Amino acid sequence: DEFISSPPRKTVRFGGTLTEILLKYEKGDTTDFELLKHQLSDPDIKDAQIINWLHEFRASVAYLTKELGQLVNILLKLPWLRRSREVVEEYLGFLGNLVSAQTVHLRPCLQMIVAQFVPPRITIREDDVDISDSDDDDENISANFDTCHRALQTVARYVPSTPQFLMPILVEFFPFINKSERTLECYVHNLLRVTVYLPTLRLQILELIIEKLLKLDVSTPQQDIEDAEETANNCASEEKSTEEGLFDMEEDEDRKGNKVVAPNIERMAHPLAERLDILMTILFSYIRDVCHVDGKLDISNTKDLYRDLVSVFDKLILPTHASCHVQYFMFYICSFKLGLAEAFLDHLWKKLQDPNNPSVIRQTAGSYIGSFLARAKFIPIVTVKACLDLLVNWLHKYIDNQDKGANAYCDVALHGPFYSTCQAVFYTLIFRHKQLLDGNLRKGLSYLQSLNFERIVMCQLNPLKICIPSVVNLFAAITRKYQLVFCYTIIERNNRQFIPVVRSGTGGDLVQTCTNPLDSFFPFDPYILKRSKKTIDPLYQFWEELSAEDLEDLKKPIKKGTSEDEDDDFLKGETPQNDGVVEIAPHSYESNTQSPVSSIGSPADCYVPYPL
């Protein structure tokens, strides 16, 4: 009785029920159908109207065939996200019904959801002129993203093949790198959220994100970032001094003080570096959250993510020359557990020694090994020694194989991996020699002598001629101090071969000899992005600039009697002192080996006196 006496549901529309309208449309009567589309497209449509329509559409999804794609597109454009909870729930129910009954509409549904992964744009108009076009700072944006992910999970639950249709859409909708920081931040954050409930897409999504980060990274050389920071700091200082000079009185200071725009401590001056910094911070947070459950490291999760990241590293990072920051995702995940760091070193070692790999990949793997051993504070000295043993033994075997061959001469094209490995060993020794000798000097020296650096340095392949001069200089100074090998005779001979030549017929232009024939770089040179470096700095071994006392100390050999081999003529002989100085001038390698302006960098070119 109550049902009979209750009034019918109020519907503000025309043309009868939805089923009737669709049946008329099939018969060629389009009047009510056009009216229906008009009502659904009304920007002032009320919540109650949306709920009523969606309720009927849910019961009539069988009619929504491919021919009615235009009507479905109008439904997918309904402003459902920023409506009441009732509208949202009804819409989610409609999406589930639609994709389960008509999978032909799966792609448009996924496109509609992914399009909501970025904040909407709002345009502020003044006198018919657009004066602003910026991201909407809606306080409900986080809740809207949550709802989008609910919608995506609903669709995936009804259509198991969702992941294979979704991935191309995620690629298609990725914002251009010149979009706002907020847009990129939201999109990348939402992509990473998708990996939580669609784990089969994780590897592909990580590849997509890291590929975009890599493009940002190589578009912003470290020198450009440092120059932008220096310029911003200088401008801020000039503005501040100008303001203080012009407005000395208190009232003027109060009035004008706010005009001085000091550089934001957290913000990067270079616009692309700012985007990269934000996105790297998100990536580091994601790695930390996946690997830790309730604050404790989850070994299973960590291993799975490590495998995915190594796969991305091999595919994207290793073949890319001179990226500055993106590769630090491997540095970070390896810091969680020593086993991961050792696995990464082993992975790089296999790349380096495999003759089937391209020479450039083997050389890059050598650069990564040296930089990782030198810079990763979390790698213990016992692991460093194990890696040095592997690398040095490989070098000696390489020399054995070449000494009797026709290619036993200095040539980067023939022996690139050999030179890269030599540089990795020299670089590691520069950073780690104090730890190798710490505690028991006699034992430490005995270990370093067992590596037989003299044979490597003196071999016909002449690695000191090819490696970066700044590394060679410090290696020579350290090995001379501990009387492991005397490099300066070879360095001087190599320097005499580096005499500049004059190009004929072009006005006598000076031709500089290439000082970085390996075209090598140190992949874990200082990380300079302000926000995300907070994650890296506690794990990072900074280079301690050599003081005058340190340089003096490097000139002095260690006291006789500290070595077990007391009869060695080289160790017993006194080293003559001379005021001659090695001066290797920085050239094309400067940005990779000099200390950056804003942070402590790689070993700079040092000038250590040596006997002539």
Residue 554 is predicted with a pLDDT of 66
Average pLDDT rounded to a whole number, residues 311-327? 93
Whether 490 maps to a domain, the answer reads yes
Q: Work out the pLDDT band at 130, boundaries 50, 70, 90.
A: low
What's 118's DSSP letter? S
pTM over 0.85: no
Domain count, the chain: 2
CA 312 to chain centre: 11
H helix intervals, 249-403: 250-256, 271-291, 299-312, 328-334, 338-353, 359-375, 381-403
d(CA 544, CA 91): 61
Whether 47 maps to a domain, the answer reads yes
pLDDT digits (tens, 9 = 90+) for 248-302: 544 444 444 443 334 466 789 999 999 999 999 999 999 999 999 999 999 999 9
Q: Work out the pLDDT band at 106, boundaries 50, 70, 90.
A: very high
Average pLDDT rounded to a whole number, residues 559-578? 36
Q: What residue type is 121 in one-letter code?
A: R
What's 376's DSSP letter? B
d(CA 369, CA 348): 7
d(CA 607, CA 358): 36
Residue 559 is predicted with a pLDDT of 54
Q: Which has more pLDDT, 113 or 134?
A: 113
By residue count, the chain amounts to 612
Expressed as residue numbers, the domain containing 374 is 367-498
The pLDDT of residue 232 is above 80: yes
Residue 563 is predicted with a pLDDT of 39
Residue 28 is predicted with a pLDDT of 84
Strand boundaries in 163-306, DSSP class E: 292-293, 296-297
Q: Are 578 and 609 in contact (CB under 8 A)?
A: yes
Whether 13 maps to a domain, the answer reads yes
Q: Work out the pLDDT band at 547, boundaries 50, 70, 90.
A: low
Mean predicted lDDT score pLDDT of the chain: 81
Residues 179, 182, 185, 187: is their CA dihedral positive or negative? negative
- Please give the full DSSP string across 524-578, using - where no structure is assigned: TSPP--TTTHHHHGGGB-------HHHHHHHHSPPPTTSSS-TT-HHHHSPPPP-
The pLDDT of residue 566 is above 50: no
Whether 334 maps to a domain, the answer reads no
Q: Work out the pLDDT band at 111, boundaries 50, 70, 90.
A: very high
Q: Which residues are 511's β-sheet partners?
A: 501
Whether 398 maps to a domain, the answer reads yes
Residue 416 is predicted with a pLDDT of 87
d(CA 541, CA 372): 10
Whether 1 maps to a domain, the answer reads no
Average pLDDT rounded to a whole number, residues 321-348? 95
Whether 3 maps to a domain, the answer reads no
What's 67's DSSP letter? G
Among the candidates 450, 477, 498, a domain finishes at: 498
The pLDDT of residue 226 is above 70: yes
Among the candidates 458, 479, 498, a domain finishes at: 498
Average pLDDT rounded to a whole number, residues 410-437? 91
Among the candidates 449, 472, 498, a domain finishes at: 498
What's 514's DSSP letter? P
Whether 583 maps to a domain, the answer reads no
Structure tokens at 340: 């991961």
